[in-house]
Amino acid sequence: MDSRLLHDLKSLLGSDGVLHRPEELLLYEYDGSVEVARPNCVVFPRTTADVLGIVKLANQYQIPLVGRGAGTGLSGGALSRKGGILTVFSRMNHILEIDVENQRATVQPGVVNADLSAAVAHAGLHFAPDPSSQKACTIGGNVSENSGGPHTLAYGVTTNHVLSMEVILPTGELARIGSSALDAPGYDLMGLFVGSEGTLALITEITVKLTRLPETVKTLLAIFETLDDATETVVEITSRGITPAACEMLDGWTLRAVEAYVHAGFPLDCAAVLLLEVDGVREAVERQAEDVADVCRVHHAREVRVARDARERDLLWKGRKNAFGAVGRLSPTYYVQDGVIPRTKLPATLRHINEVGQKYGFQIGNIFHAGDGNLHPLILFDARDESQLQRVIAASDEIIQFCVDMGGSITGEHGVGMEKDRLMPMLFSEADLNLMRRARDAFNPVGLLNPDKILPASKGCGEIHVRPLPMAGAPVA
Amino acid sequence: MNPTGTTATSRLGDIVGNANVISDPGPLAAYEIDGKIPRAAMRPGTAAEVAEIVKFAASEKLAIVASGARTKLGMGFAPSRYDLALDMTRLDRVSAYDPGDLTLSVEAGVPLHALGQTLAEHRQFLPLAVPFMSQTTMGGLIASGVDSPLRQFYGTARDFLLGMEFVTGEGATAKSGGRVVKNVTGYDIHKLMIGSLGTLGVITRVNFKTFPMPIRSRGFVARFASAERAFDMRNRIARSALTPLTMEIVSPRVAELFESEAASRYEPAPMPSNVISGTEWALTVGYAGNDEVLKRCSADLERMAEEAGATGAVVLADTLRPAFNRKREFIPIALGSSPAATIVKMSVLPMHMTSLLGSAQRATESNGLPWAAMARGLGVIYFALLPVDRTEDTKARSAKVTDAIHAACAGLGGHLTIPWCPTEWKNVLKIWGPPRADFALMQKVKRVFDPQGVLSPGRFVGGI
């Protein structure tokens, strides 16, 4: 890379604020997905002024710029697809203000998700979005990806909990959008920027809502002999109008992998379990837990266990939240999908995923947010074998096409990034994509910030061969 | 060529059929906005027709304002130009309703009240208890961005709008989001449309998450000698484990409004007696659940009311609905109660509400204007100035009052808009507040969606 740029970055950030040797960059060429892209250099700003300085240099040298939190993303959102400067926010990790009475917190983007909840727990509050990577992932990353998590079924995703941000546009303008009071007048820029996967601005400060912790929590583990019984249970819980705080499903294969790693006491001989949580005021939780258990039994649950105390509950959740890590012990690589389907289509979709696994000869584990129909099939393979990678992508595309055909979507919480941009035409017409492109270009006019993400290259690209869906309300064949 | 002359009318007739082009002055008057009457109104029946009309308008540089039940066209500035009205009420089909998935897709012209029954058959509902409930269309409630008492628990439309189809200012049909309850595919463009007063696109279809209807619900009202005490109770509830569905604090004069002729137009059933008084502040809460939950909530609320020094408290059971409906319709009731009603909407952090209301009250009373206020527990206050006449002097005093409230609100880090006031006051009252720091970003957004400036020109923040 340009030695003058390196010199300028070092004068701005100090020599401990810049990495550029190939062996240093290795750590930053990947995230939680299977994508790989190496930046030219990695920088670590400490202040908003540092970030402004970095953006100015990127403009001066016309070099791409990508933001990154903890690098736990699952779609390549924080990878430098076109090289350039990777801006890592891990040193901007201060909680700037906690306002207990108004239930607000203002944080720098590098604050770790779980750290914020820990910092406000004494006041009976928490930051509701709880991605499984919450012990590592940052709030800046959550905002960029509009992250979900098991409890978003009842509490909503990141966009429902973020009020205001200080951002720096790739053109170098510093702006504050939204407000800590509700209903900021004007267009809902927060709505556009949250979940824009780092393509519109770098974020330097975030004000979030804090949510009161529930008075009572009950966690249930329902054990099933068949996959269909488990999925039918989810369908009925939804249609009965029961809204658990979380409704997670693990299939038998995944469960055994998890149990070998976490020792949470999961049964080793079943086809699937549902991890269900209900919370709220005492009187409501008792009844809801009974209702949930009742539906499980109607659908032939072999056993419904209720966690007796916080320790048992934590153990069950540890199993759920460490599942990807557990699977990582069994296979050199796995490919995780993030498709969403209407919940009534769960049984058919799980059956389809099994068929795809058999057809392509891959082991597929399923561990996912069943309550909101957000699938996470984990396809195990060996990335060192190029032909396997090609087949995994084909298998995955087949699953995604099925989700879309069911009236669903290609990503529920992991983002499009550099992994699913080519699939966007499955859902969106060229007119839809053009408008999104223009919205991006209004803020990121020359594509300096996080280039080649979310939106496929304009038409004419031979890779795009999928046909767009009919309009969203139209009946799906 | 006169662009709205015969050629134009015949071209528009080709698109929607002559029967759906309104050009007679009589019927056209119904589409008036702030004294401006369009030269024609179109009644498209499909999104494709909407796109054709907008394409034609963009090519001829004709300004369009889309409307549904036309209950909220008084919001914002008067349009700077207004050539064509787009009446969306023929787009009134429910495109899909999947009770098992709790999702709904409807055309923009569907009236909200028409959905109630369909959803109720499956014990579901949309938590949109918005003003003008019996008339408003889905597109109109989204474009105007009105909120509802139920936001206390369910949030606003933003929190459960899953996707949208719309026509841009260039006549392109586009969509964003989808019809599943969790989705991060592409930019959330539909969120930009909420509250944009039709300046970015013509909404043609909206997709929503629906919700299970609460099993049983109750209302609770506690009366207080001062606003401070009422807000003290609000703070106690916020710190408790209770999760009420609605929570509003109302000022003394609200009782009078709720028993007025204007109120009976929206809710004919009488107000339950002994609920709110003409001289006291009141905190009203709605909550739901099974019998044990209701019992627990009522007991907790009674205790908190006592601790906060309430002069009286009452649990409302069957009589909840008329009281609730009035709370929902606070804005239209206030508008119907004065010849120059001016609705000031303020947002601040919840702990600043008492102080802000105090400032607003002092400014209003020192200028001799009657007022009434309803504050939502989450930090949104509707403060209604209710002058008895519409004279120049009253206009000047109203401007003085709203400027003072603006200053108080800004001092507390909040913001203020004036969604409703007499048309001829809009040049004096700062209805969108002071210029915002992010205005340049908003202009960028407008240029993306409506580069020709043909959609609702001039009505929005900063004259966008």
**Surface-to-core class of residue A431, CB atoms within 10 Å of its CB (0-12 exposed, 13-18 middle, 19+ buried):** middle
Residue B2 phi, psi (nearest 5): -70, 115
What domains, with CATH codes, occur in chain A? 3-88 (3.30.43.10), 95-212 (3.30.465.10), 216-322 (3.30.70.2190), 331-424 (3.30.70.2740)
- pLDDT mean over B374-394: 98
Which DSSP letter does residue B137 get? B
In sequence order, which residues have a C-beta less than 8 Å from that of residue A87 and are 6 or more positions away? A43, A45, A51, A54, A65, A66, A67, A68, A202
Q: B178 and A281 in contact by Cβ < 8 A?
A: no
Class of the CATH domain delimited by B6-89+453-463: alpha beta
According to the model, what pLDDT value does residue B319 have?
A: 53
In whole angstroms, give the CA distance from residue A227 to residue A250. 10
Identity of the residue numbered B311: T
How many CA atoms are closer than 13 Å to the CA of B276, on its beta-carbon side?
32
Q: Where are the domains of chain B?
A: 6-89+453-463, 90-212, 223-331, 338-425
Contacts of A49 (CB under 8 A, 6+ apart): none
Residue-wise pLDDT for B270-310, tens only, equals 887 778 888 999 999 999 999 999 999 999 999 999 999 99
B contacts of A342 (beta carbons < 8 Å): 98, 100-101, 103, 179-180
3-state secondary structure of B82: coil
Surface of A (162-201) touching B: CB under 8 A: 173, 175-177, 179-192, 194-196
Q: Is A475 on the interface with B (CB under 8 A)?
A: yes
Please tell me which residue of chain A has the smallest CA distance to B159. A160
Instruction: Report d(CA B358, CA B231) in Å as an integer.
Output: 12
| A and B: number of Cβ contacts within 8 A | 268
CB atoms within 10 A of CB A465: 8
Nearest chain B Cα to A214, which residue?
Answer: B241
Please state the rounded mean pLDDT for residues B13-25: 95
Contacts of B105 in chain A (CB under 8 A): 472-473
Q: Are A30 and A70 in contact (CB under 8 A)?
A: no
Tell me the two tokens of residue B113: 């009240």
With 0-12 / 13-18 / 19 or more C-beta atoms within 10 angstroms meaning exposed / middle / buried, residue A23 is exposed
B379 touches chain A (CB under 8 A): yes
Instruction: From residue A127, give the alpha-carbon distance in Å to each of A115, A134, A148, B49.
Output: 10, 11, 12, 45
Q: Is A187 helix (H, G, I), strand (E, B) or coil?
A: coil
Query: How close does chain A come to B392, measured CA to CA in Å?
Result: 28
Chain B residues close to A417, C-beta within 8 Å? none
**Model-level pTM?**
0.96
Tens of pLDDT, residue by residue over B200-229, are 999 999 999 999 999 899 999 999 999 999
Structure tokens at A99: 């306002």
Interface of A with B in 26-55 (CB under 8 A): none
Cα separation, B146 vs B13, in Å, equals: 33
Yes or no: say if A207 and A131 are a contact pair by the CB < 8 Å rule. no
- The greatest distance separating any two alpha carbons of chain B, rounded to the nearest whole angstrom, comes to 73
Cα(A125)–Cα(A115) distance, integer angstroms: 12
Q: In what order do the strands lie in the sheet with B201-209?
A: B94-98, B103-107, B201-209, B161-168, B173-177
Q: Helix H segments across A280-366?
A: 282-298, 310-321, 323-328, 346-360
Buried b (16+ CB within 10 A) or exposed e, B80-116: ebbbbbbbbbbbbeebbbbbebbbbbbbbbbbbeebe
What six digits make up the tokens of B395?
């206009």
Subunit contact B95:A473, Cβ cutoff 8 A: yes
| Contact between residue A402 and residue A443 where contact means Cβ atoms under 8 Å apart | no
**What pLDDT score does B121 carry?**
96
How far, in Å, CA of B235 to CA of B229, rounded?
A: 10
Tell me which residues of chain A, numbers 403 to 422, contact chain B at a CB-CB cutoff of 8 Å: 407-416, 420
- Taken in order B349, A200, A52, A30, the sign of the CA dihedral is positive
The C-alpha of A455 sits at a distance from chain B's nearest C-alpha, in angstroms, of 8
User: Are the C-beta atoms of residues A32 and A72 closer than 8 Å to each other?
Assistant: yes
Name the phi and psi angles at B188, rounded to 5. -80, 65
Q: Could you tell me the two tokens for B413?
A: 């880090």
Q: How far is CA B371 from CA B228, B342, B362, B363, B457, in A?
A: 18, 9, 11, 11, 32
Share of chain B above pLDDT 70, in %: 98
pLDDT above 90 for B2: no
The stretch B126-141 carries a mean pLDDT of: 97
Element (H, E) at A129: none
Q: Phi/psi zone of residue B145: left (φ > 0), alpha (ψ -120 to 50 degrees), beta?
A: left
Nearest residue to B274 via CA among B312, B239, B243, B247: B312
The confidence band for B322, taking pLDDT boundaries of 50, 70 and 90, is confident
Tally of CB atoms within 10 A around B420: 21
Determine which helix (DSSP H) or strand (DSSP E) holds B350, and give its type and residue range.
none
* CATH number, span B223-331: 3.30.70
First to last CA, chain A: 52
Mean pLDDT value of segment B320-340: 92
First CA to last CA across chain B, in angstroms? Answer: 28
pLDDT value at position A383?
Answer: 84
Selected residues 362-381 of chain A with any CB under 8 Å from a CB in chain B? 369, 372-374
Instruction: Give me the half-sphere count of Cα atoms (radius 13 Å) on the Cβ side of residue A265.
Output: 13
CA-nearest residue of chain A to B96? A473
Structure tokens at A98: 């906690």
Q: DSSP for A348-367?
A: HHHHHHHHHHHHHT--EEEE
A365: left (phi over 0), alpha (psi -120 to 50) or beta: beta
H or E segment at A90?
Answer: none
Closest among A310, A336, A339 to A323, alpha carbons compared: A336
Residues 6+ apart with CB under 8 A from A261: A322, A325, A326, A329
Query: How far apart (Å, rounded) are the C-alpha atoms in residues B160 and B208?
Result: 6
- Which positions ≥6 away from B376 have C-beta within 8 Å? B147, B149, B151, B152, B247, B248
Cα–Cα distance measured from residue B219 to residue B324, given in angstroms and rounded to the nearest whole number: 8
- Chain A segment 327-356 residues within 8 A of B by beta carbon are 340-344
Residue the block writes with tokens 């490919």:
A335
Q: Does A132 touch chain B (CB under 8 A)?
A: no
Q: Answer yes or no: are the C-beta atoms of A395 and B153 closer than 8 Å.
A: no
Distance CA A450, CA A84 (A): 9
Contacts (Cβ under 8 Å, ≥6 apart) of B315: B218, B219, B220, B298, B301, B302
Half-sphere exposure of B281 (CA within 13 A, CB side): 25
**Two tokens, residue B409:** 């609100």
DSSP annotation of B371: E
Least Cα separation, residue A91 to chain B (angstroms): 27
CB B304 within 8 A of CB B237: yes
- C-alpha–C-alpha distance, residues A275 and A247, integer Å: 6
**Pick among B75, B110, B187 to test the A interface (most A CBs inside 10 A):** B187
Residue type, B419: P
**Which is it for the CA torsion A24, A84, A201, B190, positive or negative?**
negative
Q: What is the pLDDT along chain A (477 residues), one digit of tens a residue?
A: 789 999 999 999 999 999 999 999 999 999 998 889 999 999 999 999 999 999 999 999 999 999 999 999 999 999 999 999 999 999 999 999 999 999 999 999 999 999 999 999 999 999 999 999 999 999 999 999 999 999 999 999 999 999 999 999 999 999 999 999 999 999 999 999 999 999 999 999 999 999 999 999 999 999 999 999 999 999 999 989 899 999 999 999 999 999 999 898 899 999 999 999 999 999 999 999 999 999 999 999 999 999 999 999 999 999 898 888 888 888 888 999 999 999 999 999 999 999 999 999 999 999 999 999 999 999 999 988 889 989 999 999 999 999 999 999 999 999 999 999 999 999 999 999 999 999 999 999 999 999 999 999 865 444 444 444 444 333 333
User: What number of residues does chain A have?
Assistant: 477
Residue A200 near residue A440 (C-beta atoms within 8 A) = yes
Rg of chain B in Å (alpha carbons): 23
Report d(CA A187, CA B191) in Å as an integer: 8
Domain over B338-425 is classified CATH 2.60.120.200:
no
**C-beta of residue A363 within 8 angstroms of C-beta of residue A252:** no
Q: What CATH fold (topology level) applies to the domain B90-212?
A: 3.30.465
What per-residue confidence (pLDDT) applies to B275? 84
Q: What residues contact A235, with CB distance under 8 A and at least 6 apart?
A: A343, A344, A346, A347, B100
- Predicted local confidence at residue A17, as pLDDT: 98
Distances (CA, A) of B344 to A15, A434, B144, B264, B392: 54, 38, 15, 23, 19
Contacts of B297 in chain A (CB under 8 A): 281
